[in-house]
Structure 1
Amino acid sequence: MNDILPIVLSILAAVLVIGALIPVLIKTRRNITRYPETRDANDPEVRSGGGTAVDDSTGTIELGTPGGAGPDVVDTTTVPDDAAGLETIPVETPLPVAGRLTRLRERLVRSNNIMGKGLLALLSSDRIDESVWDEVEETLLLADLGTEPTMQLVDALRERVKVLGTRTPEHVKAMLREELIKLVDPTMDRSLNVERHADKPAVMMVVGVNGVGKTTTVGKLARVLVAEDKDVLLGAADTFRAAAAEQLATWGQRVGVPTVKSDIDGADPASVAYEAVKAGIEQEVDVVMIDTAGRLQNKVGLMDELGKVKRVVEKLAEVDEVLLVLDATTGQNGLNQARVFSEVVNITGIVLTKLDGTAKGGIVVAIQRALGVPVKLVGLGEGADDLAPFDTESFVDALLN
């Protein structure tokens, strides 16, 4: 009996120790730890506003504390044990980019073939007189091609029709295809600058007015990059639109991509962008994508804001890509938005959303002519994977089929 007593006491002691440790371990696992601020407090453009919070349960990195914790404060906030109200978002596997191109081309054929079929019918007429050329010109203008590109295309077609003489539908289609491809310009570099540098990630800013699907486009583009095996981090620098940061974080969670955002309404966008790039450097990611605000009510304010975001980010890393998101259904009105943004930052590429439905295919040419930069990505629907790299020949073939 005396031999058994020490064993029993040892077992009881072990049970008590384990029982005491379990709550501590659970609490530690569920903590959201706010780390000390590391930004340069002497830099007037990088506003100090609390620490960086990493939530392991959502992959979201939050900046600042509601109480305005200073640079030297480490605040620990515990997630309640009852997490029944928290939404669990499963991680999805994005579709391969190659598969999207085929599907998007088919959708483009269905929605944008009025322009191509109209031109084919007109140019296949037995007799092409001035009234036919007027209709060709009108068809191109209605397709949002723009005045200058329309005149250029009509002149080229006139010359080729004279030389061609007899015209079969096949000849006309081949002629139109060649001239449209020239107009869309296959020589433009449509690749995304998303290759990681030796010691820093590639940095991409995404700009555009509110309502064009900018934040959604950032989320969809993150899926494109993840499908290409890129390690991505998102920065929610649109701090003025309600729920923009949460929307972006949700997109990130769907593909396992972390999001840096502020938990303070109206926080300094440049500060959020700075922290996103800093986190990207520390975590050695391939690409940091920064979503920005898009208010156009005050052009001067927008210029100052976007310019500041870019300057502050470049204290840490070069901005490799600035994508402008435009709604294709706005037609020529979208060109005015494009010009405003091109005055603010150096636009390197266009993302054209909603290129289905009422959108006109000619807007691709008009926008490229107006800005001198290529359309790099197109969106053709509401689906999460309805965004794909723009391909000149596929686009023209879709117009003519």
Structure 2
Amino acid sequence: MSLFWIILAILAVVAVAFALGRGRAVAAVAGDTRLLHSRPVYHGMFAALLAGIAGFAALILWPQLARLLNITDISRVILAAVVVGLSILAAVWAFTRIDAGFRARNMFERLVRGVLILCSLIAIATTVGIVLSLVFESAEFFRQYPWQKFFLSTSWAPNFQGNSDLGILPLLWGTLYISAIALLVAVPIGLFAAIYMSEYASPRVRGVVKPLIEVLAGIPTIVYGLFALMTVGPMLRDYFAQPLGLGDSGSSVMTAGLVMGIMIIPFVSSLSDDIINAVPQSLRDGSLGLGATPSETIRSVVLPAALPGIVGAVLLAASRAIGETMIVVLGAGASARMDLNPFEAMTTITVKIVSQLTGDTDFAAPETLVAFALGLTLFVITLALNIVALYIVRKYREQYE
């Protein structure tokens, strides 16, 4: 019996438990629902939720229990019988609790709160697990490779036969260079689009323009990468790099930066638009009442008031740009170097993380473990940017709520 049918069976038990629980509550008071402490729907939801929790908990925990009991060869039919049986038993126990005075609403809300707390703990545990895995593997890397060479060397030359030079500076330079170009593209376009949508566009135009801009956020990054490889790169090479004598490659920092900037425009425009709209209308009215023009009001009143939130939006967009991989792989190449020429091929930290973990690799070698050190460094950088952005946005929201 496949996993799909087991899940479908649990959902069927949940649906039946809801209907029977609701009906049992109504029958307990002979149809006069005014005598019930909670509405019949809460009795049904209590039974359904309890059955669902029991069934899915058994389905999730069964592999660990089977491994402990050394019964991993058990058939799927028995697994389905155990899981569905526990779900039915939970529903039956819920039915025995249902009567006129049963506080079904209170119990249902406690169960929901418990599920929400569990989901929060899972999210926190996942984050902690990711950080610990990076820290432990990075510590093993630094036991084999000097941290001074990793953070201060300007050469990146991994060699699985030994004598590798694993300096992060060329990768960090490429990451920051490409991200800076992306922000130079995205911030002006996104901010001006946000100003137009919030201050000048009619509701009808805004209802069309904003969704169209946000479509850019839904395009897969591999599509952006192909666009960089097939269109933007050759165009920059033929019309700018070669005529100016700056290079002959279609893969370059400029190619990846421009396409990445297009990708993160919605991050800047949507967040900035929401932030500008949150500025109290009374500030605009006061400025216009004193004789200022709409453009002067935007420049001298609205933007200064929204500046903390806009800065937060830019920092969040920067975090998104720093972590991008596919656009860099197809648009900027894989050459680890430190150069000011934007038409030269370079690479980023994320690209090298993928390359070091791809193929038949030895996870005890520093050439593989360096990927975790790179990941930890990138995690710290993006975490710092996100903390700064969230702090600024929170301060802004507290000011205008």
Asked which structure has the greater CA Rg, the reply is: 2
Is the structural similarity TM-score above 0.5?
A: no
Instruction: Report 1 or 2 for greater relative contact order, CA contacts < 8 Å, sequence distance ≥ 6.
Output: 1
Q: TM-score, normalised by structure 1?
A: 0.21
Q: Which has the higher helix share?
A: 2
